[in-house]
Amino acid sequence: MNILTYSAEHEDFRRRLHAFCDEEIIPFADQWETDHALPRDIWRKAGRAGFLCPGVAKRYGGLGGDFRYALIVNEEMARTGQTGLAASLHSDVVVPYIESFGSEAQKQRYLPGCVNGDIVTAVAMTEPDAGSDLAAMTTTAVEEGDTVVINGAKTFISNGLVCDLVVLAARDPAVEDRYQAISLYLVETGTPGFHKGRRLDKMGWHSQDTAELFFTDCRIPVENRLGDKGAGFLMLMTKLQQERLTCALGALTAAERILEWTTGYCRRTAMDGRLLVKNQTIQFALVEMATETKIGRAFVEKLVADHIQGGQIIVETAMAKFWTTDLANRTANRCMELLGEAGNLEHHPIARGLRDARVMAIFAGTNEIMKQIAAKFMGL
């Protein structure tokens, strides 16, 4: 029995997205990875085809769909072997801040562009010296009448160079309580005082740009604040459940893709006149990994169903985030070992999959932080 069921609309979305990936992404994915960049126009193509922000309400151009669409996007994007078109980051992590906490004027101004690909978003939380403690951020936002003056720096910002709009977390230095000092602001690319730094040269995720962002006396209208002043930390915490569930989806589909490719390779590749898949050691390894991915699939789909129903699954998503990202790393490592020297070849997806999987245990809160969260809620 399937945990999740799909409507005709879901299946039509999947078919169209599958065809889009085959035509517009997969033929170019290797070149994008080599270039460490992808053309900006692919975002517009994806948006105009209806594949960005499917959860956004219809009145702003979206499908008004549920979180099943996020799972479909993760599954189809996993096939492409590229990370540059970070559709889930844009659609399921950043844009929901605007839809949930934005004013009607903000929604009308930004959401249609987020849906059609004219606006690519990023969220700027991480700082060079703040580590995993968001409340320790030092970027400041001082409200002066109808203007906000922002100073500080952010780093490891996904979509940092391609983005047109940043959801920025900053603190009011006049507020002593560091949790109540944080607010969220919308900052557009091109705003005076907002500068994009260098593209960070990463171990993996090569086609997905990650950058430093700098704010020097950057002035924005006070109406660009999201929600109430001082409510930023609470808003961030509210959205972490979906962010971590999105990460779990991405890690699970990555593990499934790596295993699927490795199984196929072992079925068609012979050594000493015998197909690799007929070797008992390889059979057992493939069965063990397939079992783990099926366990992960059942767990994650149950969480998706609970999330759609509005369940509070903070602990469970923390558990899923660390377990699935560890799973992606274990699967990539073990598949590399099964292939031996062949696994190191760049034209095989295992080397890329291994590089891309490693950071999954770090972003959106390290796996150690996930275990701390779970331990706290378990009363340990």
The catalytic residues are: 243
CA 254 to chain centre: 12
Q: How far is CA 291 from CA 202, 250, 255, 348, 358, in A?
A: 31, 18, 12, 23, 21
Segment 283-287 long-range contacts (CB within 8 Å, at least 24 positions apart): 285/334, 285/338, 286/259, 286/262, 286/338
- DSSP of 165-182, one letter per residue? EEEEEEE-TT-SSTTTTE
CA–CA separation, 356 vs 78, rounded Å? 11
- What CA dihedral angle connects 181, 184, 189 and 194, to 10 degrees? 0
14 and 76 in contact (C-beta within 8 Å)?
A: yes
Residues 6+ away with beta carbon under 8 Å from 336: 343, 344, 350, 351, 354
Query: Residue 208 in 3-state DSSP?
Result: coil
Nearest to 93 by CA among 114, 117, 72, 63: 114
Residue 117 region by backbone torsions, left for phi larger than 0, else alpha for psi between -120 and 50, else beta: left
Using a CB cutoff of 8 Å and minimum separation of 24, what contacts does 103-109 make? 103/223, 105/223, 106/186, 106/223, 106/224, 106/226, 107/60, 108/60
- Cα distance between residue 202 and residue 214, in whole Å: 20
Residue 313 in tokens? 């699954």
